[in-house]
Structure 1
Amino acid sequence: AKVMRAQPGDQVELFDGSGFQFAATVSEVTRHSVNLRIQSREQVSREANRRVTIAVSLPKGDRQKWLVEKLCEVGVTTIIPLKTERSVAQPTDKALTRLRRCVIEASKQCGRNTLMEIESPQSLGELIEQTNHEVVRFIAHPYSSEDTAASNSDITAINTNGSVIAAIGPEGGFSE
C-alpha cells in the first residue's frame, strides 16, 4: 500500500498467474494490510498460440535474473535449466525459488497474467528423450554448418505446429 500509495476507492487490477485477471477496489488500508473488493473476474489470454520452451545453461549471478526477466517478457512459456559439462552455474533449489519470484515480478512489469514455468534442471540427453517428436526442436550451436541451420521447412513447421523448444548451451558451448 505504501509503494502504490493506495487509498480506499482506488481501482487495481490483479492476476492469479493462470490466466485470470480481476478488477478490484481498495476498500481498506491499514499499516500491515490492504483489503480489496473484487468487482469482476475474467479469463484473458495474453499468451501466444504456441508454446515456446527454452532449455538453457544458466549464466552466473545477476545474469540469471536478467535472462529470466527477458524470456518472460518476450512470452516464453517454459524455461528448463540445462545441466551440461561446461555449465558455469548449477542451479540449486534456493536459486530456482528466487528465479520463480523473478518470473512474478517480470509478469507484473510486462502485463503477462500467466506465469512462465521454470522446470527442474535436466541434461541435454534427458531433454531429448522427454521431448515429444511433434515439437519443433532447435539447438543453438556456434559451429553448426549451413546445411544444419534452420531451413524454410523448419520455419514452416514452427508456424503450423503449436510448440517449439530451443536448447542453448553454456558460455563454452556444448561438449561433444
Structure 2
Amino acid sequence: MIDALRNSVAHVFVDHLDSPSLSDTDQHHLSRVLRLRDGESVTASDGRGGWRACEWADGQLRVVGDIVRVPAPTQRIGVAFAPVKGDRNDWSVQKLTEIGMDDIVLLAPTRHSVVRWSDADKQLRKLSVVAREAAMQSRRVWLPAVSGLVSLADALVMPGAAVADPSGTAWFASMGTEHSATLTAPTVVIVGPEGGFDIDEIPASVPRVSLGDTILRAETATLVAATLLASASRAKGAS
C-alpha cells in the first residue's frame, strides 16, 4: 500500500476527484467523530481506482496532491455466500472488504437456507454501505461490488467458481508447491448456508475446495475462503 494512503488520518470516497466534496455523513464523521484538525491528512478516492491527497481545512477537503490512478485488478476474486441470521452478514461483508474481495455476492435461498429475505433490495443497500465504510477504514481505492440475490445455478457458472466443501481438493494447502501448478486456482468460492448444500444441488463438474479439516460456521467459512483467496492472489502476483 502507498504510504500516503496508509498514513492518512482518514480516507473518504467522493463523486469527483477534480473538486472533492464530502457527503453530509462523511463531513460529520470527520469533524465530529474523528475531530480532525486543520492541516491533518485525508485521502479521497472515487472508488474506481483514482485517489488524491488532501488535507482538512475549515471543515472541508483542500487538495494537496495530484490524482493518482491505480489499475484495476487483473484477476478479480470474490466470495458468494448464503445470508445468515442477525447482523453476521454485516460482519461478513465488512471483513470481506477489509481482506480485499473484489466481488461480494449474496446467494438466493437454497434448500437448507434458514434466512429468506423479504426485503432483499433494502438489505443489499445496507450491505453496500457497510462495504463502503469498511473500504474507507482499510484504505481501498477500488470499491467492491456487492450484488445479489444470485441463484446458486448462476453462481456455479461464474468464471473460476468453486464450492467450499470439506471433501474438496486442498488446493489452498498446496499453494506454492509443485502440486499447485497442476491445479486450477479458484477465483470465486461459494459458501453454503449453515445446513450446507445437498449433493444433488452441486453438479459433479463443479470444483470443490477444502477450507481446512474442521467444521466451520457459515460466516467463519466465508472469512477463511476470502483470506485464502487473497493469499493465493498475492502469491500469484509475486510469482
Identity of aligned residues (%): 32
Aligned residues of 1:138 and 1:167 also touching (Cα < 8 A): yes
- Tell me the CA shift for residue 48 of structure 1: 5.7
Q: Secondary structure at the match of 1:173?
A: coil
TM-score, length-scaled by structure 1: 0.78
* Greater relative CO, 1 or 2 (CA 8 Å, sep 6+): 1
Q: Which has the higher strand share?
A: 1
Q: Which amino acid aligns with 1:27?
A: A
Q: Deviations over 1:88-146 (max 9, x none)?
A: 223411111111111011111222221111112111112234x2xxx33311124x3xx
Q: Which amino acid aligns with 2:64?
A: Q
Match for residue 141 of structure 1?
Answer: 165
Unaligned 5+ segments in structure 1 are 30-34
Distance 1:165 1:111, change over 3 A: same
Q: Which has the higher helix share?
A: 2
Aligned residues of 1:12 and 1:24 also touching (Cα < 8 A): yes
Distance 1:4 1:93, change over 3 A: same
Aligned residues of 1:136 and 1:154 also touching (Cα < 8 A): no
- The aligned runs of 1:6-155 (5 Å cut-off) are 6-29=36-59, 35-40=60-65, 41-44=67-70, 49-83=74-108, 84-91=110-117, 92-129=120-157, 131=158, 135-142=159-166, 144=167, 148-150=168-170, 152=179
Cα distance between partner residues in 1 of 2:49 and 2:182:
28
Unaligned 5+ segments in structure 2 are 1-30, 172-178, 201-239
RMSD over aligned CA atoms reads 2.3
In the alignment of these two chains, the number of paired residues is 158
